[in-house]
Amino acid sequence: MARPVFIVDGSRTPFLKARSGPGPFTPVDLAVQCGRPLLARQPFSPTSFDQVILGCVNVIADEMNPARVAALRLGMGEDMVAFTVQINCGSGMQSIDTAYRYIREGHADMVLAGGTEALSHAPLVWPNSGVRWFAGLATAKGVAAKLAAAFKLRPRYLKPIIGLERGLTDPITDLNMGQTAEVVGHLFGITRAQSDAYAAESHRRLTHAQAEGFLKGEVETAFSRDGKFFDHDDGVRPDSTAETLAKLRPVFERPWGQVTAGNSSQITDGASWVILASDAAVAKHKLTPKAVIVDSHWAALDPSIMGLGPVMSATPLLQRNDLTVKDVETWELNEAFATQVLGCLAAWNDDKFCRDILGLDGAAGEIDRDKLNVDGGAISLGHPVGTSGNRIVLHLVNAMKRLGTRRGVATECIGGGLGGAMLIEVV
């Protein structure tokens, strides 16, 4: 018999915009910065967990299996099982889903599930031609051979490739993520003006949430080794308007594209954790759950339209639970691109798409924008790839508690042509 799985608590770091060079924190640093205060306020020892699961895409060389490194730095004990998961943008949600299934089936009682990403630490890599030259130089025998190998050097061999740029390009379609958003926007007639207006609203909502203290208790202050502290998401632009955003040039499809730096998610560093527990763990430690995970669903689709992943994953999730989009009171849909989010909303409200692709009797319906990303999203606060899926679940729970709503869905598109969705109810 499947057991209920509760979300007990959670926290995250501020999301810090990547600017010039590596930021102050590595992926594990970030996980530890928000993990320490989270564990410190619990009525149980950090060693009480059964395992740690952490999503991370850009794993750096000094932190192989960052879940294990973070667990040890958090004082969770040498016998703590900890592993890292990677499913691109869905990594942070996958950590929750994996923990959910372990607990539901009785294989664990309490799991720390998170996501972390330091995109500012993405590596520069050599082109293959440069790698072959270095290999030839290293294996050459004798002075003459080494000199001959050295003279084969060409300047282009030393031109580094930005690893992040390749990582955000789909290897099957050879489209970068921004281009896939352009495709989705074209399919549903999303205009540049609509995308810019959506982006400006994301900044307005996050600015309001910060000013009103809505993120208090969710965002933990991070302290760098040089004594600086970071206490808020620093990518928000309170002065953003649709008019100012309209002045920006398209980035991916010039000159007529819809996607710009202003209506896209920001490249950021950040980490997030949630604590998941069984009813037995709740009783044992006298915990007060915030929410219960009802169900989850993953879907796959054409990588060129990966932005429709939320539609393809959330729709069957709702069907399986005899719900419609109208039954969901609060939505968190990761804002990879404004055009992509608007494309998803248009798809759900498109009769032909819903009949032909989703197998519905007609349009699923229109999602009330007042119920969607109520405190802004990745456009205003950033998208640390391995973290975002975890953050949207954490914030969904906190937002529902504040708003007094009961049922919510966290969903996201995933590079490579995937989508993930999770149905949450407040308890």
Q: What is the pLDDT of residues 106-154, one digit of tens each?
A: 999 999 999 999 999 887 677 788 889 889 889 999 999 988 888 888 8
What pLDDT digit, counting tens, does each position of 20-68 carry?
789 999 999 999 999 999 999 999 999 999 999 999 999 998 999 999 9
- What is the token pair recorded at 401? 């508690």
CA 251, distance to chain mean position in Å, is 22
- Would you call 360 exposed, middle or buried from its count of C-beta atoms within 10 A (0-12, 13-18, 19+)? middle
Compute the distance between CA of residue 96 and CA of residue 167 in angstroms, rounded to an integer: 23
Above 80 in pLDDT, residue 361? Answer: yes
288-302: average pLDDT: 98
Residue of higher predicted confidence among 97 and 145:
97
Compute the distance between CA of residue 179 and CA of residue 188 in angstroms, rounded to an integer: 15
Q: Is this model's pTM higher than 0.75 or not?
A: yes
1-28: average pLDDT: 93
Instruction: Note the pLDDT of residue 163.
Output: 66
Above 90 in pLDDT, residue 351? Answer: yes
* Least confident window among 18-32, 146-160, 284-298, 370-384: 146-160
**Sign of the four-CA dihedral 15, 17, 18, 22:** negative
**Is the Cβ–Cβ distance between 42 and 9 less than 8 Å?**
yes
Compute the distance between CA of residue 371 and CA of residue 245 in angstroms, rounded to an integer: 24
Above 80 in pLDDT, residue 164? Answer: no
Above 80 in pLDDT, residue 162? Answer: no
3-state DSSP helix/strand/coil percent for the chain, to nearest 5?
45, 20, 35
Per domain, the residue ranges of the chain are 177-213+292-426
Strands 268-278 and 5-12: antiparallel
Give the active site residue among 89, 121, 344, 354. 89
The kind and range of the H/E element at 105 are none
- What is the token pair recorded at 157? 């061999």
383 a catalytic residue: yes
- Would you call 362 exposed, middle or buried from its count of C-beta atoms within 10 A (0-12, 13-18, 19+)? exposed
pLDDT > 90: percent of the chain: 85
Instruction: Note the pLDDT of residue 254.
Output: 85
Above 90 in pLDDT, residue 387? Answer: yes
Instruction: Note the pLDDT of residue 108.
Output: 98
**Is the Cβ–Cβ distance between 423 and 317 less than 8 Å?**
yes
* Structural fold of domain 177-213+292-426: Peroxisomal Thiolase; Chain A, domain 1 (3.40.47)
**Is the Cβ–Cβ distance between 321 and 297 less than 8 Å?**
no
Average pLDDT taken over every residue of the chain: 95
Instruction: Note the pLDDT of residue 158.
Output: 79
Instruction: Note the pLDDT of residue 88.
Output: 95
Residue closest to 290 by CA, chosen among 44, 12, 3, 7: 7
Compute the distance between CA of residue 354 and CA of residue 53 in angstroms, rounded to an integer: 35
DSSP per-residue string spanning 271-323: EEEEEEEEHHHHHHHT----EEEEEEEEEE--GGGGGGHHHHHHHHHHHHTT-
What pLDDT digit, counting tens, does each position of 308-349 carry?
999 999 999 999 999 999 999 999 999 999 999 999 999 999
**Is the Cβ–Cβ distance between 380 and 263 less than 8 Å?**
no
Three-state secondary structure call for residue 427? coil
Compute the distance between CA of residue 74 and CA of residue 31 in angstroms, rounded to an integer: 9
Instruction: Note the pLDDT of residue 36.
Output: 98
Compute the distance between CA of residue 35 and CA of residue 28 in angstroms, rounded to an integer: 10
Compute the distance between CA of residue 6 and CA of residue 34 in angstroms, rounded to an integer: 20
DSSP 413: E
**Is the Cβ–Cβ distance between 195 and 258 less than 8 Å?**
yes
List the beta strands (DSSP E) in 56-109.
Answer: 81-85
The 10 Å Cβ neighbour count of residue 410 is 28
Instruction: Note the pLDDT of residue 128.
Output: 87
Instruction: Note the pLDDT of residue 362.
Output: 96
Place of tokens 């219960």: 292
Which residue blocks in 301-384 are alpha helix, DSSP H? 309-320, 338-348, 351-356, 378-381
Compute the distance between CA of residue 15 and CA of residue 267 in angstroms, rounded to an integer: 10
What pLDDT digit, counting tens, does each position of 201-259 carry?
999 999 999 999 999 999 999 999 999 999 999 999 999 999 999 999 999 888 889 99
34 a catalytic residue: no
Compute the distance between CA of residue 52 and CA of residue 332 in angstroms, rounded to an integer: 24
